[in-house]
Amino acid sequence: MNIFDATKSVPADLRAILEDVKVALDGREVADRAAIANRDAIAAGGIRIVELEAASAVRDAEAVRAEARAAADADLKAEAVKAVKAADKANTELSDVRRAHERRIAAVEVLSADARAIDATIDDLKKRLTAAIAGYRKQILAALNEDLLEACAPLIPVIQAAMTINGQIPDGGLARDWLDCAKLISPVDYRAEHDHFSHHVRVRGTDLLASQDPLPALPIGAMTVLQELAAVSAALKRHQPFTIPKLPRPQAETPQRSPSEQRRYDEGAERIRRSEEEFDQRAERAKQPQTPEERRIGVLTFGNPVRRSRLHAVAPKNSARDRTTKVWATSMHG
């Protein structure tokens, strides 16, 4: 497959960075071992210096005593010379150990500087390696995309046919929810969206199962079946429960009035008209302002001018208008 071939083909820049990283890591390991050995040597040198200082002090004291005895006795001169040589040897060894100890202490900073330089190199190599791996990853993903396109080629007509049938089947289609989720996102330039509340990840990008070609036409037999199914389903949706039809009401014929009935009807209508005119006139007079004399008469008559105005303005139950309306209705129906 293309993905395996792309994986085996390592870019030259990535190969060079890998070699540089190995060298830098080996150098850092050597620096670590040198620093540890130098630390142990410094600790041992400090102990050795203490021991040599004590031994040198003893040898110096012995040399001083030997030379003092030899000054009084010539036979002890050889012993004094021997003691002086031992003291000189102890001092020389102490000096050598001290100088070596000082060099080891000075080497601490040198080894630290070397290690820090290697660390800086490793940090730079990390960035370069990350960029090189990103390019290597894109190379592999591009090969994977080619493999997926080849694998999806036979699937695209199947998905297109399912979408065609899905649009023709009533009441939910063929498998609309499944078709909405039937996607294969390309591994090249995809986007991952993280939902911090549900912790779900939704991947968006180019759908390798999608096609820009128009949906295929249905065969004649399939089209006939689906059209019949759609027609029957639409008819069922238009279906209404049975209800008994309402019979039309017969229109009652209004009997013709006799001359005497017509005369009574006209007289009643005239009485109603006059009663309504009188009622309206009284209501209009009640709205007009009263003179002081009218208010005085009203107080003497009714005790309260406000009550009198209300009596004139508001028609009581079974008023003249109600009575005349009843007369009108009675006359209208004979």
Measured CA distances, 201 to 135, 145, 181, 204 (Å): 24, 21, 14, 10
- Tell me how far apart the alpha carbons of residues 12 and 77 are, in angstroms, rounded to a whole number: 80
pLDDT at 321: 47
Report d(CA 311, CA 314) in Å as an integer.
6
- Here the tokens at position 224 are 């006939």
Helices (H) and strands (E) in the chain, counts: 10, 2
Sequence-distant (6+) residues with CB within 8 A of 92 are: none
Query: Which residue bears the tokens 């390798």?
Result: 208
**Distance between CA atoms of 86 and 56, rounded to whole angstroms?**
9
- pLDDT per residue of the chain (334 residues) written in tens, 0 to 9: 899 999 999 999 999 999 999 999 999 999 999 999 999 999 999 999 999 999 999 999 988 988 888 888 888 888 888 988 999 999 999 999 999 999 999 999 999 999 999 999 999 999 999 999 999 999 999 999 999 999 999 999 999 999 999 988 888 889 999 998 899 999 998 899 888 887 888 889 999 999 989 999 989 999 899 999 989 998 998 988 888 888 777 766 667 778 888 888 888 888 898 888 888 888 887 777 777 776 666 555 555 544 444 444 444 444 444 444 444 444 444 4
Q: What pLDDT is recorded for position 316? A: 45
Instruction: Answer positive or negative: Cα dihedral of 279, 285, 286, 292.
Output: negative
Rg of the Cα atoms in the chain: 61
Give the pLDDT confidence score for residue 42 in this predicted structure: 94
Architecture (CATH level 2) of domain 2-151 = Orthogonal Bundle (1.10)
Measured CA to CA, the distance from residue 204 to residue 186 in angstroms comes to 9
Q: Which residues pair with 185 in a beta bridge?
A: 207
pLDDT computed for residue 301 by the predictor: 53
How far is the C-alpha of 51 from the C-alpha of 40, rounded, in Å?
A: 17
Q: 283-308: buried (b, 16+ CB within 10 Å) or exposed (e) per residue?
A: eeeeeeeeeeeeeeebeeeeeebeeb
End-to-end CA distance of the chain: 106
Q: What pLDDT is recorded for position 260?
A: 85
Rounded to 5°, angle at Cα 108 from 102 and 114: 140
